[in-house]
Amino acid sequence: MAEKLEQIGTCRFCGQTRVIETLKELTQLELDEAATENCICEGAIEDKRKRARRTKINEFVNRKFGENKLADSIRSLADLVEDGTFEEVTFKLYKDKIVRIWKDSEFNIYIRIKRTEQDELKA
């Protein structure tokens, strides 16, 4: 069985050090990341929330649009709404979809894709 190593990492938000048990040598950057992940300071908790939110946004956008430039643009717009650059973004996509991205008072990010079905006939 591999011997456990005890290494020290530092939270990048509060500076608190933590002992990280590992099976192999890690870089200081990896140790600091592990210490930040395990920290309960306000900055670390908010960082975890942001990363979880970003993961959910990525999964949703990939499911709806796949991996392409359009999906990258939508993710970028969601980032701009999240950081407060834009309060809300609404745009028309193709001929029948309207995409709206906004943040509520609790800082949740919403992405709504509305289909505007219009029946039209020219004879």
Query: At residue 37, does pLDDT exceed 60?
Result: yes
* CA angle at 91 for the pair 109 and 120, rounded to the nearest 5°: 125
d(CA 113, CA 86): 18
Share of the chain above pLDDT 70, in %: 93
- pLDDT for 83-92, tens place per residue? 999 999 999 9
Residues 6+ apart with CB under 8 A from 55: none
What does the DSSP 8-state code read for residue 21? Answer: E
Instruction: Tell me which of 27 and 119 has the higher pLDDT.
Output: 27
More confident residue, 123 or 15: 15
Tokens of 104: 């509520």
Rounded to two decimals, what is the model's pTM? 0.75
